[in-house]
Amino acid sequence: MEYWKSGNSICLLSLRVDNNKDLGGTILTNYNRNNLLLTGIFLAGLLILIVVLAEQGRYDYAKNIAVKASIWTIYSFFELKYNMTVPNYIRALVMVAVLSDSFIGLYLNLYVTSSVFDKIQHVYGSYAFSLFAFTILHRLLHPVVSRAFNCLLVILIGLSIGAVYEIGEFIGDLVARPQVPSQPSLLDTNLDLIADFTGALIAAVHVAFFSTIGRTFKL
């Protein structure tokens, strides 16, 4: 690893290949080992939830979680293949969002029994996924832009993810016709979007904070 020292603080600038091994054309680093460990624990947790929900006959929820697990598996493959190196703390934020959605929201059924949990989940999920998508965008495009533009970009990314998610819920309700719809009313949809904006705004503040204290946002 390579570090940069400023005053009494040490900021991680880059990850250098350490103890390299070839894994199907992909360089296996200490970073990737931690990535694989996190991903393994995450997918194992989702798999347990899928099995338990299926045994309980709650197949809609089991399928929902299976789709999330499949998407994450595909993403992880491409991340390793192209070495995008999303920081593990951002990866963990996203995993917590997915696990809380799957375990607390679906398995414990708080989406039905609580009117507050869904909005909290939207705020936190928007925060986590905004940082996640912003990081990937930087990895792929390497844009050189101002701090203000970065903050605006994070907010726009969060709003876009929220809008796409709401469209997905609408299509899911229309096609699957679940007993408990994801979008029971227009008010619920609008409150979800407001919560998504709040989470994206927090993510923008997160990015701005690192810049304000004289550090490059750790990507």
Instruction: List the alpha helices (DSSP H) in 100-185.
Output: 110-113, 117-141, 147-176
Question: Two tokens at 24?
Answer: 């199907």
User: Taking the mean position of all CA atoms in its chain, how far away is CA 96?
Assistant: 8
Q: For the chain, what are the domain ranges?
A: 2-212
Q: What is the pLDDT of residue 131?
A: 94
- What single-letter DSSP state applies at residue 101? I
Q: What is the pLDDT of residue 10?
A: 29
pLDDT tens for the chain, residues 1 to 219 = 333 333 333 233 233 333 344 444 444 566 678 888 899 999 999 999 999 999 999 998 999 999 999 999 999 888 878 777 888 899 999 999 999 999 999 999 999 899 899 999 999 999 999 999 999 888 888 777 788 888 999 999 999 999 999 998 888 888 877 777 778 888 888 999 999 999 999 999 998 887 654 454 455
Select from 199, 143, 192 the least CA-distant residue to 170.
Answer: 192
CA distance 43 to 55: 18
Contact between 120 and 136 under an 8 Å Cβ cutoff? The reply is no
Q: What is the pLDDT of residue 209?
A: 84
